[in-house]
Amino acid sequence: MTQISAAARGNPAPVTQIDHARAGAVTAAMRIVAEKEGRDPEFIREGVAAGRIAIPANIRHASLSPEGVGGGLRTKVNVNLGISGDLACEAEEWKKVDVALELGAEAIMDLSNSGKTAAFRRALIEKSPAMIGTVPLYDAIGYLEKPLVGITAADFLDVVRAHAEDGVDFVTIHAGMNRCTIESFRETGRLTNIVSRGGSLIFAWMEATGNENPFYEFYDEVLAILHEHDVTISLGDAMRPGSTYDATDAGQIAELIEIGKLTRRAWDAGVQVMVEGPGHMALDEIAANMKLEKRLCHDAPFYVLGPLVCDIAPGYDHITAAIGGAVAASSGADFLCYVTPAEHLRLPDAADVREGLVATKIAAHAADIAKGVPGARDADNRMSDARRRVDWEGMFAEALDPVRAREYFESAPPSTEGTCTMCGQMCAMRTVNQIMDGLTVDLGKE
């Protein structure tokens, strides 16, 4: 049954995208998304109203070029970056931002977790046309200048409010890990325990204070803050598996059940929702997990990290994640968080960001072709036509990473003009083109 927000029931005026959609209005953001996706604006409005589509678009993010995340739309890709305690180089983070925007990432998550991070976050929001996400919990210790155990539930809400007021489009809130979820985790055990940074911090806080997860206990207050600024809640998977051994276990599923309930409560409050998912997962479990999330979370957009399909490839985890991401997105996931070669090893640098982002965009695009997303094959067809014509500039124009493609081509100049050093005069395209044009085929010595 369609949920009706308080705003749409005629109390306050509509504020959020879902408020407007349920009131029958097509917003400017919905029209932009419809144009980008080749969809009718009414298709977008209906999807937002039902919760199948989210358009994370804080009313304070003036530079945003809105994107839709959800059913029937292109798979979107997120880049994680941010300052850490060991590598607090803001200049390097701006290099990563530039790479993310150059290669067309639809979202950037600022996961800064050390010191006073507000200045960087605000500058990022001012500059970025991509949607911006954060995890307020990461910022709490530096923002409040308190040890974890000294932070109160009210303090956590203050940090959420600060991020919303800065203009963040979506926030990860680990509200699904409550005492019931933790009991499932304790009873069944895990090989890698809790690997979510946010989840581990909440677990530690709950253990130290004896209190319930503040984001679960005061969930309605969180939603009121997010509704005021039209911030989308990304319901974090604190119990995501950190190894293929732990995938689809009781802790993960117990949390997902709670997240499904929280999804409906958010929609009732007029707040858009995305649901975050695993993690590490064997290839044969991915499709079932995507269907399970859609079922338990009422077709809310699904945002997955990877999944990484094996655990033994440090230095190459952008590949393990891209394999899993392609299967996940083709099976229903809507939003892929990139993984870089540095995953599990160190903070990524700008070169790692490029590698991870391109790998994830390949996974997303491959899935969109498989799902039959409108227009997904268009660029591939243009690339294939350029290859037939041996039009190198045309090929570079369609490449996901035109800089890398051009660098490879120009690094080994061919002796036969128009070809490359793989085949030279034996280039199949060149040979058949000559025949089709009625020319004599030139296969002399190079």
Q: pLDDT band for position 388 (50/70/90)?
A: very high
- 7 occurs within a structural domain: no
Give the pLDDT confidence score for residue 115 in this predicted structure. Answer: 76
Calculate mean pLDDT across residues 215-235.
Answer: 98
Q: pLDDT band for position 86 (50/70/90)?
A: confident
Q: Tell me, yes or no, whether 269 and 317 share the same domain.
A: yes
- 444 occurs within a structural domain: no
Give the pLDDT confidence score for residue 114 in this predicted structure. Answer: 81
Domain range for 227 is: 17-371
User: Across all residues in the chain, what is the average pLDDT?
Assistant: 95
Q: How far apart are CA 137 and CA 162, in angstroms?
A: 12
Calculate mean pLDDT across residues 50-56.
Answer: 98
Q: Tell me, yes or no, whether 353 and 338 share the same domain.
A: yes
- 388 occurs within a structural domain: yes
Q: Tell me, yes or no, whether 355 and 411 share the same domain.
A: no
Binding site per annotation, positions for [4Fe-4S] cluster: 420, 423, 427
Calculate mean pLDDT across residues 202-229.
Answer: 98
- 340 occurs within a structural domain: yes
pLDDT at 4 over 50: no
Task: Among 346, 371, 396, give the residue marking a domain's end.
Answer: 371
Give the pLDDT confidence score for residue 440 in this predicted structure. Answer: 86
Closest CA to 368 of 26, 72, 3: 72
- 421 occurs within a structural domain: yes
Calculate mean pLDDT across residues 263-269.
Answer: 98
Q: Tell me, yes or no, whether 353 and 398 share the same domain.
A: no
- Which CATH number fits the domain that encloses residue 75? 3.20.20.540
Q: Tell me, yes or no, whether 22 and 121 share the same domain.
A: yes
pLDDT at 9 over 60: no
User: pTM score > 0.75 for this model?
Assistant: yes
- 2 occurs within a structural domain: no
Q: Tell me, yes or no, whether 226 and 133 share the same domain.
A: yes
Q: Tell me, yes or no, whether 274 and 343 share the same domain.
A: yes
Binding site per annotation, positions: 80, 109, 138, 174, 196-198, 237-240, 276, 280, 303, 344, 420, 423, 427
Calculate mean pLDDT across residues 221-230.
Answer: 98
Q: What is the pLDDT of residues 162-201, one digit of tens each?
A: 999 999 999 999 999 999 999 999 999 999 999 999 999 9
Binding site per annotation, positions for Zn(2+): 280, 344
Binding site per annotation, positions for substrate: 80, 109, 138, 174, 196-198, 237-240, 276, 303
Q: How far apart are CA 344 and CA 274, in angstroms?
A: 25
Give the pLDDT confidence score for residue 129 in this predicted structure. Answer: 98
Q: Tell me, yes or no, whether 61 and 75 share the same domain.
A: yes
Task: Among 354, 371, 388, give the residue marking a domain's end.
Answer: 371
Q: pLDDT band for position 444 (50/70/90)?
A: low
Q: pLDDT band for position 10 (50/70/90)?
A: low
- 443 occurs within a structural domain: no
For residues 24 and 35, the answer to whether their CB atoms sit within 8 Å is: no
- 12 occurs within a structural domain: no
Calculate mean pLDDT across residues 432-440.
Answer: 91
Calculate mean pLDDT across residues 30-51.
Answer: 98
Q: Tell me, yes or no, whether 345 and 220 share the same domain.
A: yes
Give the pLDDT confidence score for residue 302 in this predicted structure. Answer: 98
* Total domains, the chain: 2
The percentage of the chain sitting over the pLDDT mark of 90, rounded to a whole number, equals 90
Give the pLDDT confidence score for residue 1 in this predicted structure. Answer: 31
Q: Tell me, yes or no, whether 395 and 331 share the same domain.
A: no
Q: Tell me, yes or no, whether 387 and 365 share the same domain.
A: no
Q: pLDDT band for position 373 (50/70/90)?
A: very high
Report the half-sphere exposure of 11 (CA within 13 A, side-chain side).
8
Task: Among 339, 371, 403, give the residue marking a domain's end.
Answer: 371
User: Phi/psi at 232 (nearest 5 deg)?
Assistant: -75, 135
Q: Tell me, yes or no, whether 47 and 183 share the same domain.
A: yes
Closest CA to 79 of 120, 42, 109, 35: 109
